[in-house]
Structure 1
Amino acid sequence: MSLRALVVEDDREIRTLMQSSLGVEGFEVQTAVTLSEARALWHNAPPDLVILDLGLPDGDGAELVRDIRRSSAVPILIVSARHQEAQKIQVLDEGADDYLTKPFSVGELLARIRVALRHRGTALAPALTEHTLDDLHVDLGTRSVTVAGQAIHLTPTEYNLLARLVRSAGRVVTHRQLLADVWGAEFTEHTHYLRLYMGQLRAKIEADPAEPRHLLTETGVGYRLAIE
């Protein structure tokens, strides 16, 4: 069963980055832009992890930390542009587990999430971040994809789709799961997206896209990244 994460962030680009990064890690992600929206989502279905910005349009994210700590020990990771030591100490004293200052790297965000979950007794193994088969090499740590040593340029969506398959290399990932993790839960019926982007990916990394070696179709089920 996937862990559920609530991302509370009013910056659209950062929110989308965190949603896609957590999605390819296998999290079920809900997002909120405001403090009131976050409170509603929290009370409706408490998540396993909260990632929280402090500067929200309708209030201070620290208010949500206090609200949550009245009834829950769920891990809370602050991601904020505020860098003053006194502010960090205050929100940590109020119950946040960790504090990450913007700008941040996705790798550090994921590492801190693993630590916060581990401290709550949830062992989240470091995700698979590299994949090599024949002339294809993918390194999610550096966001690089090469074929026969040549760098391949992928669009953000193409990259997120490939990254999600790398995380489950050798295993079938269903159409619905790919759509939810890469595009969002509201897109689970849009299988034409998958066909379009899988065709684009194959054109870039396969020697013969019509007879794929790496990105394999499991008819009627989903896709699998070959490991041998």
Structure 2
Amino acid sequence: MRVLLVEDDDRLASALTTALARHGHQVVRAGLAVDALRLAGGVDFVLLDLGLPDGDGLDALRRVRQVSTVPIIVVTARTGERDVLRGLRSGADDYLVKPFRTSELMARMEAVVRRGTRALPARPQVVTVGDVRVDLESRRVTVAGREVALTRREFDVLAFLAREPGVVRGREEILDAVWGDPLLSASRSLDVHVAGLRSKTGRPGLVETLRGTGYRLGVPEPS
């Protein structure tokens, strides 16, 4: 297999490259998240470290999962239960904590391959609610044909809700997906961005609040 190894530690990367080559795999090495995103589409398997110099590997994992079903095993020093759950919920097929034996890594890779490739969920590229149009690919939002300028985080919140219109998303779920940290639920960051969405679009009903639960995409009335 052609394996993408995303690891910034040169010594570990060298050892893993040798082990993978010994088992007949061709290794492509990347030390940055941006390179992982660029190369993931051309390989058969991805081994992904989370502590990368240019960003959190979880964000890279989520972005790869939006467009690819390539098998991914997270290989990291993060041992917390919350880290493991976040990795698996973000789309990893398995989670392996450093240090580990190369024989265990090979066995886990074989197990993931045996399970087969997951189906990539069919998701709309453009979502329309009332007179609001959300283009998920181009990251453009228009209201009654007028383009609305949103911040990156405002659009990410709206896009997360728009991918499954009508589905209620919990506060921690949104914060984990957009900010990468569900503990931000103690702050008002999400509320501020939702208020910004309502104000900038002029559609207060675009994002509905369900007290004690979370948010969902509503069907706003034209003003």
Which secondary structure state, in structure 2, belongs to the residue aligned with residue 73 of structure 1? Answer: helix
- The CA deviation string for residues 194-227 of structure 1, in whole angstroms up to 9 with x for no partner, is 11111111111134xxxx2211111221111025
> Which residue in 1 is equivalent to 2:208?
216
Number of aligned residues = 158
Equivalent of residue 151 in structure 1, options 147, 152, 158: 147
Relative contact order (C-alpha < 8 Å, sep 6+): which is higher?
1
Q: Distance in 1 between matches of 2:183 and 2:198?
A: 22
> Which residue in 2 is equivalent to 1:193?
189
1:133 equivalent in alignment to 2:129: yes
Q: CA RMSD in A?
A: 4.1
Which secondary structure state, in structure 1, belongs to the residue aligned with residue 108 of structure 2? Answer: coil
Q: Distance in 1 between matches of 2:131 and 2:59?
A: 29
Give the drift of 1:72: 2.8
Q: Look up the equivalent residue of 1:161 and give its one-letter code.
A: V
> Which residue in 1 is equivalent to 2:54?
12
Which secondary structure state, in structure 2, belongs to the residue aligned with residue 163 of structure 1? Answer: helix
Alignment of 1:53-68 (within 5 A): 68=105
Q: Distance in 2 between matches of 1:65 and 1:200?
A: 49
Distance 1:65 1:172, change over 3 A: farther
Give the drift of 1:149: 1.5
Q: Distance in 2 between matches of 1:160 and 1:6?
A: 26
Q: Look up the equivalent residue of 1:149 and give its one-letter code.
A: G
Q: Look up the equivalent residue of 1:132 and give its one-letter code.
A: T
> Which residue in 2 is equivalent to 1:49?
92
Q: Look up the equivalent residue of 1:71 and give its one-letter code.
A: R
- The CA deviation string for residues 36-67 of structure 1, in whole angstroms up to 9 with x for no partner, is xx34348985856379xxxxxxxxxxxx9986
Q: Distance in 2 between matches of 1:6 and 1:188?
A: 28
Preserved CA contact (<8 Å) 2:130 2:219:
no
Query: When the two structures are superposed, what TM-score results if normalisation uses the length of structure 2?
Result: 0.55
Q: Distance in 2 between matches of 1:65 and 1:143?
A: 41
Distance 1:147 1:20, change over 3 A: farther
Distance 1:70 1:202, change over 3 A: same
> Which residue in 2 is equivalent to 1:108?
none
1:71 equivalent in alignment to 2:113: no
Preserved CA contact (<8 Å) 2:49 2:76:
no
Give the drift of 1:122: 2.5
- In structure 2, runs of 5+ residues without a counterpart are 1-45, 68-73, 95-100
Preserved CA contact (<8 Å) 1:173 1:222:
yes
> Which residue in 2 is equivalent to 1:162?
158
Distance 1:201 1:120, change over 3 A: same
Equivalent of residue 173 in structure 2, options 145, 159, 177: 177
Give the drift of 1:127: 2.4
Query: When the two structures are superposed, what TM-score results if normalisation uses the length of structure 1?
Result: 0.54
Q: Look up the equivalent residue of 2:192 and give its one-letter code.
A: L
- In structure 1, runs of 5+ residues without a counterpart are 26-31, 33-37, 52-63, 76-96, 98-116
Q: Look up the equivalent residue of 1:164 and give its one-letter code.
A: F
> Which residue in 2 is equivalent to 1:105?
none
